[in-house]
C-alpha cells in the first residue's frame, strides 16, 4: 500500500466544525455473514477483493471485505446505522461520567475498543492489537488530514492498514451522507433495506420542509455559536457541511465578516463575552459537543441578556453530525420546528 505523507494540519483543520475544537486543545465489522438478534450485520457477506476510492483520491484495497474496522467515533456511529459494526474507535466516545458521548450515536460503547477518547490520544499498540484491516475518518481540510489521527504519529498509524478519508470540508451535508452510504455498501450493508430507504426518504422530506419553512419565515435570523470560558464563537455558513446545506435551503443565517473569520481560517469569529451581543438573532443554535460549554451552564450575564436566550429560543447544533440519513433527518426537522415557532425579536 502506497504511503502518503500528509501535510501538517492547518489551524482551520484543528478548529474545524464550527469552532468548538479550539476548546479541545488547540467495516464489515467482524467478517462473518451472521446477524445478531437486532439485525445488525457482523460482516459484509461479500467475497473477493475489496476496494474503495476515498475523497483524497486514494484507493484503499484488501484481498477481502474488511473485518477489523477502526474508525473515528462519528463515522463508526454512522456505519452502525447501516448495520456495520467496528472493532475500535478513536475520538470522543465516553464522557467523564462513563456515558456515551453524543458522537457515539446508538453504539454500545462497552463493546468497543477505544483507541483514544480525546484530541491527541491514539494508542498505537492497542490499534495494532486489533489487526486492523482499514482505518476510516473524516477530513476537515483540503489537505487530506484524517480527523483525530495525531500528526506526530500518523506515519506509524497509517503504515499498519489502508485508510479511508471522507471529506466534510467546504461542501454540503448531502456529500458525506452519500459517501458514507456508499462506503457502508462496499462493506456489506444492505442500502435497499426498508430501514435505510425510509431514513433517506425522511431526510428528503425534512429538507423540503425546512426549505418551505425558511422561505415562509425569511425574517427569522439564526445565529450558530459555540461557547468556551473566555470566548464565544460565531460560525459562518461556509466550510461547515451542515451550515452550507442550511444556507442552500434558504435559512437566514447570521454571517460574520470574512475579515472577522480570518483568524480561524474562515470558519468563525471570536467574540469576547462582553461583545456577545454584536449580532442580533432570533434563534441561536449552540454547539452540543462535550468540548463546548452548554447553554444551561453559561453563567455570563451578557449571555443571559440576549433576546433569544430570554425568549427561550436556543436550540442545540449538532456540530459534528453522524453522517447517516437516520441521524441527519432530525437535525433538519428540529431546525424547521425552531424557525416556525420562533417569535421575531427586537
State whether 135 and 75 are in the same domain: yes
CA distance 316 to 322: 14
Show which of 133, 158, 191 is a domain's final residue: 191
Confirm whether 31 is domain-assigned.
no
pLDDT at site 48? 84
pLDDT at site 25? 30
pLDDT at site 163? 98
State whether 206 and 335 are in the same domain: yes
Confirm whether 208 is domain-assigned.
yes
State whether 245 and 303 are in the same domain: yes
pLDDT at site 346? 84
State whether 94 and 163 are in the same domain: yes
Confirm whether 152 is domain-assigned.
yes
Which of the 8 DSSP states describes residue 153? G
Q: Evaluate the CA torsion angle 59, 139, 238, 244 in order and state its sign.
A: positive
Tell me the CA end-to-end span of the chain in Å, nearest whole number: 60
Q: What is the pLDDT of residues 91-108, one digit of tens each?
A: 999 999 999 999 999 999
Residues of the chain with pLDDT under 50: 1-44
The answer to whether 334 touches 241, Cβ cutoff 8 Å, is no
pLDDT at site 262? 87
Which of the 8 DSSP states describes residue 233? E
State whether 86 and 132 are in the same domain: yes
State whether 230 and 145 are in the same domain: no
Confirm whether 12 is domain-assigned.
no
Confirm whether 7 is domain-assigned.
no
Confirm whether 265 is domain-assigned.
yes
CATH number of the domain encompassing residue 281: 3.40.50.1980
State whether 208 and 182 are in the same domain: no
State whether 247 and 201 are in the same domain: yes
CA distance 177 to 102: 18
Question: Residue 252 is part of which domain span?
Answer: 196-341
pLDDT at site 46? 60
Show which of 165, 191, 217 is a domain's final residue: 191
Show which of 175, 191, 207 is a domain's final residue: 191
Query: How many independent structural domains does the chain possess?
Result: 2
Amino acid at each position: 500500500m502506497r504511503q502518503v505523507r500528509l501535510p501538517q494540519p492547518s489551524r482551520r483543520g484543528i478548529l474545524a466544525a464550527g469552532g468548538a475544537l479550539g476548546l479541545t486543545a488547540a467495516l464489515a465489522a467482524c467478517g462473518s455473514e451472521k446477524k445478531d438478534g437486532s439485525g445488525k450485520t457482523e460482516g459484509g457477506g461479500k467475497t473477493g477483493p475489496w476496494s474503495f476510492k476515498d475523497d483524497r483520491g486514494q484507493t484503499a484495497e484488501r484481498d477481502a471485505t474488511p473485518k477489523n474496522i477502526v474508525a473515528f467515533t462519528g463515522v463508526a456511529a454512522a456505519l452502525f446505522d447501516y448495520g456495520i459494526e467496528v472493532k475500535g474507535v478513536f475520538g470522543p466516545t465516553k464522557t467523564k461520567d462513563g456515558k456515551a458521548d453524543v458522537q457515539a450515536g446508538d453504539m454500545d460503547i462497552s463493546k468497543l475498543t477505544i483507541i483514544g477518547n480525546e484530541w491527541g490520544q491514539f494508542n498505537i499498540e492497542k490499534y495494532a492489537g486489533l489487526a486492523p484491516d482499514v482505518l476510516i475518518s473524516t477530513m476537515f481540510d483540503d489537505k487530506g488530514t484524517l480527523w483525530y489521527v495525531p500528526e506526530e504519529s500518523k506515519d506509524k498509524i497509517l503504515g499498519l492498514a489502508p485508510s479511508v478519508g471522507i471529506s466534510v470540508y467546504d461542501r454540503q451535508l448531502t456529500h458525506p451522507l452519500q459517501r458514507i452510504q456508499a462506503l457502508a455498501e462496499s462493506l456489506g450493508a444492505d442500502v435497499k433495506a426498508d430501514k435505510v430507504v425510509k431514513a433517506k426518504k425522511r431526510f428528503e422530506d425534512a429538507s423540503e420542509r425546512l426549505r418551505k419553512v425558511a422561505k415562509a419565515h425569511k425574517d427569522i435570523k439564526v445565529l450558530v455559536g459555540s461557547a468556551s470560558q473566555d470566548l464565544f464563537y460565531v460560525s459562518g455558513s461556509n466550510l461547515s457541511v451542515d451550515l452550507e446545506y442550511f444556507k442552500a435551503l434558504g435559512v437566514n443565517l447570521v454571517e460574520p465578516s470574512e475579515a472577522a473569520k480570518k483568524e480561524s481560517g474562515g470558519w468563525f469569529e471570536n467574540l469576547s463575552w462582553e461583545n456577545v451581543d454584536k449580532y442580533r438573532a432570533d434563534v441561536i443554535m449552540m454547539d452540543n459537543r462535550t468540548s463546548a460549554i452548554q447553554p444551561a451552564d453559561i453563567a455570563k450575564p451578557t449571555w443571559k441578556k440576549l433576546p433569544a436566550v430570554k425568549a427561550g429560543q436556543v436550540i442545540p447544533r449538532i456540530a459534528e453530525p453522524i453522517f447517516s440519513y437516520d441521524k441527519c433527518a432530525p437535525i433538519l426537522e428540529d431546525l424547521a420546528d425552531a424557525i416556525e415557532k420562533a417569535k421575531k425579536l427586537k
